[in-house]
Amino acid sequence: MSANTSEEQRIAGCSFSVYPMSDRFSNLILDALKATDSSKVWMKTDKVSTIARGRIPHIFDVSQAVFLHIAKTGVHTVYSATFSVGCPGDTAGHSYMAKDEKPMNHNSISSIKKDVTAKFALYPMGGGNYMDLIYEQIEAMKKHGVEVTPTHYETILAGSAQDVFSGLEKVLRATEEAGSKHTIMTVTISANSPSGDEVEI
Amino acid sequence: MSANTSEEQRIAGCSFSVYPMSDRFSNLILDALKATDSSKVWMKTDKVSTIARGRIPHIFDVSQAVFLHIAKTGVHTVYSATFSVGCPGDTAGHSYMAKDEKPMNHNSISSIKKDVTAKFALYPMGGGNYMDLIYEQIEAMKKHGVEVTPTHYETILAGSAQDVFSGLEKVLRATEEAGSKHTIMTVTISANSPSGDEVEI
């Protein structure tokens, strides 16, 4: 069994939220949820965020769909997520791992074109060479069609929403394949932002 | 030199954002920034978040002040932050380490009473015993006046904004004091949320 095949059997998950900066935030979120097919992930919403668990492509697909169905309205919207693979004790919901890898929302969101600005950070846990793994994946991101700018604590990304999500998924998979037993990746993605930096905190 | 004294010399920082779910988000953020005294931190805003760096109490104080000055208006507002202590290469801005520990915004925000729901996660990097450090600090949080509920990938907190911020600061300090060389803590705090969970994703 290759490292790749082995990693793909592990359950992945993310805790994600979407923040529409609008008085109509409730309806925007509810409409986006209705428009999103989450049949291939275990999903649960609590008072702070929504947790989606299953195969890596599906947790990206579902959370990206919720975000893009709001962003397409033109409202300034931020997506925030913590991805996790290999968290000790993360076993419930394994039934979802039997699903294939075909993303359910691809057809409904592939036509939504949005340029986004994002930040991500990678945390390979438990080993001393984690900074090397991080630097490798920041370099790799540049080859995934995404503009990469360093800053403190995180790395700034810019590109189309599709390229940014796709790049993040590749980076998470590659970190697994490089041997990280427990990997966290945090992501913030902003769409429809007013241009003035002074309102962006 | 005790471990505590040594740790306190290290620069800490956070990348934080506030998300007012309102059509007036820009003005709410600008007003909150004007009302916040950030003179004891190095601070820079980019298109995704604001980075504050300096002593631990000041990065909590400043980011909490920005959040509470928005939350006091009653608008549903979310605070999101990634705290970091001991990040390799994080040395610029050391001049701010000469400042004392008296928080500059205490007087202006201590009267703002808000119950909040939050999530946090702790990532002590580079060592194999990181799960023990995490479990210890989840237990410790229960003694800081905060309601603690487990969930996937993160831990749910509930309490007053002051208790939650204070508890998070204690947890970050204690993780340092326990010997973690490089610690990340991610935090999401929600105020004025509508009660229905179905709109909270």
Instruction: Give domain limits for chain B.
Output: 3-89+105-199
- Specify the pLDDT at position B198: 39
The structure's pTM equals: 0.93
Which residue in A113, A103, A125 sits closest to A175, CA to CA?
A125
How remote is the C-alpha of A145 from its chain's centroid?
Answer: 16
Question: What phi and psi, each to the nearest 5 degrees, are found at residue B111?
Answer: -90, -5
Residues of chain A in contact with residue B186, where contact means CB-CB under 8 angstroms, are 82, 186
Residues of chain A in contact with residue B146, where contact means CB-CB under 8 angstroms, are none
Q: Is the pLDDT of residue A98 over 60?
A: yes
ipTM of the complex in this document: 0.92
Of B26, B127, B186, the CB nearest to A199: B26
Residues of chain A in contact with residue B74, where contact means CB-CB under 8 angstroms, are none
- Specify the pLDDT at position B98: 74
Domain A3-87+113-199, second-level architecture: 2-Layer Sandwich (3.30)
- Specify the pLDDT at position A88: 82
- Specify the pLDDT at position B197: 42
Of B45, B188, B199, the CB nearest to A200: B45
Task: Give the chain A residue nearest B190 (alpha carbons).
Answer: A48
Q: Please report the number of interchain residue pairs, chain A to chain B, with beta-carbon separation below 8 angstroms.
A: 176
Task: Give the chain A residue nearest B156 (alpha carbons).
Answer: A48
- Specify the pLDDT at position A201: 45
Task: Give the chain B residue nearest A44 (alpha carbons).
Answer: B201
Q: Cα distance from A198 to chain B (closest Cα, Å)?
A: 7
Q: What dotted CATH number matches B3-89+105-199? A: 3.30.70.930
Rounded CA-CA distance B65/B39 in Å is 13
Q: Cα distance from A91 to chain B (closest Cα, Å)?
A: 10
Burial of A177 (0-12, 13-18, 19+ CB in 10 A): middle
- Residue B33: count other Cβ atoms within 10 Å of its Cβ: 21
Which residue in A24, A23, A48, A60 sits closest to A173, CA to CA?
A60
Rounded CA-CA distance B141/B120 in Å is 11
Q: Is the pLDDT of residue A91 over 90?
A: no
Residues of chain A in contact with residue B13, where contact means CB-CB under 8 angstroms, are 152-153
- Specify the pLDDT at position A89: 74
Rounded CA-CA distance A38/A45 in Å is 12
H-assigned helices in chain A: 3-8, 25-35, 56-71, 106-109, 130-142, 161-177
In which residue ranges of chain B is pLDDT below 50?
A: 1-8, 196-201
In which band, very low, low, confident or very high, does the pLDDT at A93 lie, cut at 50, 70 and 90? low
Of residues A10 and A85, the one with the higher pLDDT is A85
Q: Of the given ranges (A43-47, A87-91, A160-164, A179-183), which has the lowest mean pLDDT?
A: A87-91
Of residues A3 and B55, the one with the higher pLDDT is B55
Residues of chain B in contact with residue A199, where contact means CB-CB under 8 angstroms, are 25-26, 29-30
- Specify the pLDDT at position A95: 73
Of B21, B87, B153, the CB nearest to A87: B153
Strands B12-20 and B50-54: antiparallel
Of B22, B84, B194, the CB nearest to A153: B84
